Amino acid sequence: MVAQEARRLKLDQSAEFKTASENARKAAQKAGDDKKAGFKQQWEDFQNELLNQAFAAHIVQTQPVSEADARKTYDEMQAYYKGSEQIQLGEIMTPKKADAEQAVKDLKAKKPFADTARKYSADPAAKQNGGINSEYDALKDLEKAAPPVYAAVKDLKKGQFTATPVNGNGVYGVFYINDRRPMQIPAFDQVKAGITQNMMQQKLENAVGSLYQKATITPAK
């Protein structure tokens, strides 16, 4: 679908496409790959991949993300997170309910969280970091991504933990609040590149999605 659209736009006539195609053909001939069985299909697949790349480059060129666009998204992000908090979680994850319950008992007995995580967590990383995540989670993000975890930790203060293990997909989790603070949004210049890249990726996905929506699919008889 994308390759067809690239041909319709005559992207296969561009100097860049022709050069890349010619260089690949010469390399294949030099290696003798063009004489091997299956080369015709491999070459067709390669051409389609080149066309996909050409289409992506076309979208980037014709629908650029301006700094104003990126700034608008940044301002919306700031407004969304305004007044919210972020937490640094400690996690003990185990498939065994008994281990999760014993971990809670140990924590209630004032045993250090890191030692408890190393003892009971099935996550290999917990053996190294004591179960403490290096990054902070925005509570608003956690609410959307993992509602049961959010519900269990949203009201906990620093140093507190979930008194009842959270069960999901056969895994039991004990969560600990290592730190809690107001949401911190990096300066625009620090995140501009990432925002721009994400917005450009979304434009590309929208363009491809639009092609499939316009396509007429004929059921097989």
71 touches 169 (CB < 8 A):
no
121 touches 93 (CB < 8 A):
yes
Which strand (E) or helix (H) includes residue 167? Answer: strand 166-168
Phi, psi at residue 79, to the nearest 5°? -65, -40
Q: Tell me the pTM.
A: 0.73
Q: Classify domain 85-182 by CATH number.
A: 3.10.50.40
Confidence (pLDDT) at 139: 98
Confidence (pLDDT) at 220: 56
The structural domains of the chain, with segments of one domain joined by +, span: 2-70+189-214, 85-182
Quote the CA–CA distance of 179 and 181 in Å, as a whole number: 7
Q: Starting at the earlier edge strand, list the strands of the sheet with 137-138.
A: 137-138, 85-94, 171-182, 166-168
Confidence (pLDDT) at 172: 98
Confidence (pLDDT) at 1: 85
Report the alpha-carbon angle 123-128-133, nearest 5: 70
Confidence (pLDDT) at 94: 97
Tokens found for residue 76: 């919306």
Tokens found for residue 93: 């994850």
Which strand (E) or helix (H) includes residue 166? Answer: strand 166-168
Query: In a structure prediction context, what are the per-residue pLDDT tens digits for the chain, which is 221 residues long?
Result: 898 998 889 989 999 999 999 999 999 999 999 899 999 999 999 999 999 999 999 999 999 999 999 999 999 999 999 999 999 999 999 999 999 999 999 999 999 999 999 999 999 999 889 999 999 999 999 999 999 999 999 999 999 999 999 999 899 999 999 999 999 999 999 999 999 999 999 999 999 999 888 876 555 55
